Amino acid sequence: MLGKVLTQYVLEIVIKVVTVHAEEKMGFRKPMDYSSVHHQIYMAGVEMHSGHNDGYTTWEIKQDLHRIKWLLDEIMADSPTYADEKEFLDEHSKVKMWRTLKK
């Protein structure tokens, strides 16, 4: 039950972040607060792996995370490519590789 409430809360936050007008910085709008979104999704992952939740609850959390991923995949597929994007993605790949090698 706690997992279902948490997942609903996470979805509400993601929807709110995507639809709400954001604060203005340096003359442009940034439509989300990365730290808040990151934290909510991270906490959904924590709940999904918690031994206090049953399979029904964790399955609902995972379904919600899939829905968020699919939404992001659609948005990213339709987005333009930027000058520094390749370097940004390459840097992430290196960090991810080092994390994998350290396991």
Tell me, what's the pLDDT at 31? 81
pTM of the predicted model as reported, rounded to 2 decimal places:
0.65
Tell me, what's the pLDDT at 12? 66
Please give the residue range of the domain that contains residue 60.
2-102
Helix %, strand %, coil % of the chain (to 5): 75, 5, 25
The rounded distance, in Å, linking the Cα atoms of 101 and 65 is 26
Q: Into how many domains does the chain fold?
A: 1
pLDDT lower than 50: segments of the chain: 20-25
Tell me, what's the pLDDT at 23? 46
The rounded distance, in Å, linking the Cα atoms of 45 and 25 is 30
Q: Are 53 and 2 in contact (CB under 8 A)?
A: yes
Alpha carbon separation from 73 to 52, 90, 99 (Å, rounded): 31, 18, 23
Tell me, what's the pLDDT at 18? 55
